[in-house]
Chain A
Amino acid sequence: MKTSTTDFGYQQVPTEQKVEKVKQVFDSVANRYDVMNDLMSLGLHRLWKRMAIDICGAKRGDVVLDIATGTGDLAKPLAQIVGSKGLVVCSDINQAMLSLGRDKLIDQGLVGNIEYVQADAQNLPFPAYSFDKITIGFGLRNVTDKLQALTSMCQVLKPGGKALILEFSHPRSQPLKTLYDVYSFQILPLMGKIVAKDSESYRYLAESIRMHPDQMILQQMLEQAGFGQCDHVNLSGGIVAIHWGYKL
C-alpha cells in the first residue's frame, strides 16, 4: 500500500506526520519567537502586520477569528479595534504557542474581549456564519491541506464577511529574488543557530516559504474555496503578500 506524502520544507513526509513536525518546529522556537521575528525581517514584520490590520477592515463590535495566532501580534490590535462590544477568538493548533500568546496578551492588559481556542485551521470547530472577519498571519504556509483550511474558513464566516491571509510569498523581481535566496538560505539559518540555537527550524522556514503557492495560485485557491471578490497586494516587493476574499 502506498502512503500519501506531503511537503515539509523541501522534504517529503507522510501526510499524517506533517502536523507533528510543524509542531516540533514551533515548540522549538516558541520562547525566542518574537526576537527572531524582529531579527529575521529586520523589523519589517511589524509593518506587514500593520498593513494587514488596515486592510482587514475590522470595526467596533466585530467578531473576529485569528487563526494561527501564535504570540498574538494580530490579535492585539484586532482586540483594540473591536472594543468591548466585539470579540476576538485566538486559535492555534499548538498549545505551547497559544498559552504563550495568551500570557503575552494578558500581560499587556488585553482581557475581556479575547477568547482562546486550540484548533486546527483545517477543521475549525465553530458553527457556520460565526465571524465578521478572519485573519491568518504567517500560518497558512504551515497547514497541510491549504484548500481545506480556506474552505473551513469560508464556512465559519458570516455572509459579507472577509478573510485575510498574510503570508510570505514570492518576490516579483529577479535581483530581489537572488538577494532573498542568499538571505534565507545562508544568513537566516545562521541567525537561527545563534539566537534560537536551532538552525534546522529556520531552514524549514525558508524552505516552506519557497514551497508556498505564489500570489496568483493562492488567489485561485481562495476562489476555489468559495470566496468572492478576491484580491491581493504585494508588500516589500512580494516577499510578503496579503490576500483577501469575501463570503458573498
Chain B
Amino acid sequence: MKLPSLVVAGLESAINTVIGLDEEILPQFAKLEDKVIAIECLDLELSLYFLPHAQGLKLLTDYNGQADTLLRGSAIALLGMSYRQRPEKSLFSGEVKITGDTELGQRFQTLLQSIDIDWEEYLSQLIGDVPAHQVNRALKWGKEKQQKTMDTLQQNLAEYLQYEVDTLPSKPATENFIHQVDQLRTDLDRLEARIQRLESTIN
C-alpha cells in the first residue's frame, strides 16, 4: 500500500511544526542532512522515507535511491519505538530491526522519541479509529504531554491563518455570527410554536 499524499503532507507539516518549535531538536535533525532513513511497516506494507535537511524533515512515499538505514517492524513495534523510553525492547509482538547504518538508525529513533507527535492520529487515518486507539491505550501515551503540543499547534495554526493569511474571521466576528445564529434559532422556535398553535385551532 502506498501512503496517501494527504496523510503524508499532514504528518510532514506536524513534524516540522514540532521541530520548528524546539530550538534544540532542529540542529540535530539538520546534522543528518544528506542521509536517507527508510521506515518499513511490515503488516501494513507501508514504506516511508525521511530526508533530514536544514529546515527539518522531508517525507517521501517513494525514494529512487539507496536509503542509508532501514527501520523495519510491525505497526505496533514501530509505534512503540517512537513513544517508549526504551525502544530496544518492544512490549508487543516483534521488534524493530535496523539494517544498513545501525548507528544512524538508532540516532534517528532517539530523535523521533524526543518529538511529540501523535503518530496514532496518522495511523488511524490509515487503518481506522478503533485499532489505533487500542494501540494508543496500550501504550499509555502521556495524554497531558500530547495535549500540550496539540494546544500549541492549534494556537499557532489559528494565529497563522488569522494574521498571516487573513482568511479566517476573528473571534469577535465569529462570536457575533454564532450569536446571530442563536437568535435565528430562537426566532425559528417561536415561529414553529405559533404554527402549531394555528394548526391546533384549525383542527
Contact = CB atoms under 8 A, between A and B. Distances in A.
A83 B34 contact: yes
Interface in A142-175: none
Q: Is the interface of A mostly helix, strand, loop or mixed?
A: helix
A96 B79 CA distance: 47
Contact of B5 (A39, A54, A58, A108): A54
Contacts of B75: none
Given A83-B33, A108-B55, A57 B62 contact: yes
Contacts of B61: 54
Given A35-B165, A47-B5, A109-B54, A81 B60 contact: yes
Interface residues of B, number: 20
A77 B36 contact: no
Contacts of A57: 62, 64
Contacts of B33: 83-84
A54 B55 contact: no
Contacts of A38: 165, 167
A119 interface: no
B15 interface: no
Interface string A10-32: 00000000000000000000000
B1 interface: no
A109 B54 CA distance: 8
Contacts of A39: 167
Interface string B30-53: 000110100000000000000101
Contacts of A197: none
B202 interface: no
Contacts of A35: 165
B155 to A, nearest CB: 20
B34 A80 contact: no
A83 B53 contact: yes
B158 interface: no
Contacts of B55: 80, 108-110
Interface in B142-184: 165, 167
Contacts of A50: 5, 8-9
B6 interface: yes
Interface in A54-113: 54, 57-60, 77, 79-81, 83-85, 108-110
A51 B8 CA distance: 11
Interface of B: 5-6, 8-9, 33-34, 36, 51, 53-55, 58, 60-65, 165, 167
25 contacts: A35-B165, A38-B167, A47-B6, A50-B5, A50-B8, A54-B5, A54-B60, A54-B61, A57-B62, A57-B64, A58-B64, A60-B34, A60-B51, A79-B53, A80-B51, A80-B53, A80-B55, A80-B58, A81-B60, A83-B34, A83-B53, A85-B34, A109-B54, A109-B55, A110-B54
Given A50-B5, A54-B61, 7 more contacts: A38-B165, A54-B5, A54-B62, A81-B58, A83-B34, A84-B33, A85-B34
The 8 closest A-B pairs by CB, nearest first: A59-B65, A80-B53, A83-B34, A80-B58, A57-B64, A59-B64, A50-B5, A51-B5
